[in-house]
Copies of this chain bind each other. A is one copy, B any other.
Amino acid sequence: MPRLALLQSRSFPSKSEALAHHEPLIRQAAAAGANIVVTQELFLTPYFCGVQDPAAFDLADTLPGPITERLGALAGELGIVLIASLFERRGPGLYHNTAATFDADGSWLGLYRKAHIPQDPGFEEKFFFAPGDSGWPVWTTRFGNIGVLICWDQWYPEAARLMALGGAQLLVYPTAIGWLATEKAALGELQHGAWETVQRGHAVANGCYLAAVNRCGHCGDTEFWGRSFVAGPYGQLLAKASTSDEQILYQDLDYGSLEEVRRLWPFFRDRRIDAYGELTQRWRS
């Protein structure tokens, strides 16, 4: 069974420090038998979207580039699938929140550019990221068919479904979600519960594994939730990380069991594709 490892980590002041911290973690995970290793969202940088500062664009990388060469070489050396969430400079004035996926031979499978972009106080992402136009690629890797989505995408059943229709056995969400100090007391637990529940629901509806890799610690006014987790095809929590500490979270994945689940509950058989056309409308009234 493939072993998944999620790198729940804090923020670092510089990209070089973040990389110097993560490389040993990736090696440690591989040494512990991990076959698929996933970073948190924008793992090389602090969560810079708290304020709309144009200087933060300097943090972006051109892809492919030195960072993908280095990560691909690491994946190939260790024989792991590596999924890294990066800040991409695609063109002058055109930036994306992007995940790069490398197969276990080190080859670069491609990019997924975050499709759903949030914009609210403390999460000013529409200032930084153009909405992705990479579609819904499912990566055929040595260790399974993987659909990579990113953070705000996790609230959208459409995104999970499209990946599952593309054959995904595992959905992975690099994430940076947390509380604003002003909201935590009143809404904190409700918000965290909603976040976990909606993703567990995607695992049920699509009969697949689902993993969310969140940041921990503070960044500006935001306190990240940690609590990275892996859910199974019944939405059951299989593994869950600490709230505040760095942690490598491991979970073995039994893809064969997905076939059993989908035979008992064949949701894909009965989808009413003749009646879903209005899903592409903004509103129905």
- Please give the residue numbers on chain A whose beta carbons come within 8 Å of chain B beta carbons, in ascending order: 115-118, 120, 131, 133, 135-136, 138, 152, 155-162, 165-167, 183, 187, 190-191, 193-194, 197-202, 204-205, 233-236, 264-268, 270-285
Contact = CB atoms under 8 A, between A and B. Distances in A.
Nearest to A165: B284
A271 B201 contact: no
Given A156-B267, A161-B157, A277 B280 contact: yes
A55 B172 CA distance: 49
A81 B193 CA distance: 31
A193 B284 contact: no
Contact of A235 (B159, B193, B274): B193
Given A156-B272, A273-B280, 10 more contacts: A118-B270, A135-B275, A156-B270, A165-B278, A193-B234, A197-B201, A201-B202, A201-B204, A276-B280, A279-B280
A173 to B, nearest CB: 14
Contacts of A162: 276, 278-279, 284
A117 B266 CA distance: 11
B234 A276 contact: no
Nearest to A140: B285
27 contacts: A117-B270, A120-B264, A135-B275, A155-B267, A157-B158, A157-B160, A161-B279, A162-B276, A165-B278, A165-B279, A165-B282, A166-B284, A187-B264, A190-B236, A197-B201, A197-B234, A197-B235, A198-B201, A198-B205, A199-B201, A200-B201, A201-B201, A201-B205, A201-B235, A271-B282, A273-B281, A274-B280
A247 to B, nearest CB: 24
B193 A155 contact: no
A194 B262 CA distance: 13
B156 A205 contact: yes
A179 B198 CA distance: 24
A103 to B, nearest CB: 18
Nearest to A195: B204
Nearest to A166: B284
Nearest to A283: B165
B115 A275 contact: yes
Contacts of A280: 273-274, 276-277, 279
Contacts of A167: 283-285
A234 B279 contact: no
A130 to B, nearest CB: 12
Given A167-B284, A279-B158, A235 B267 contact: no
Contacts of A135: 275
Contacts of A205: 155-157, 198, 201
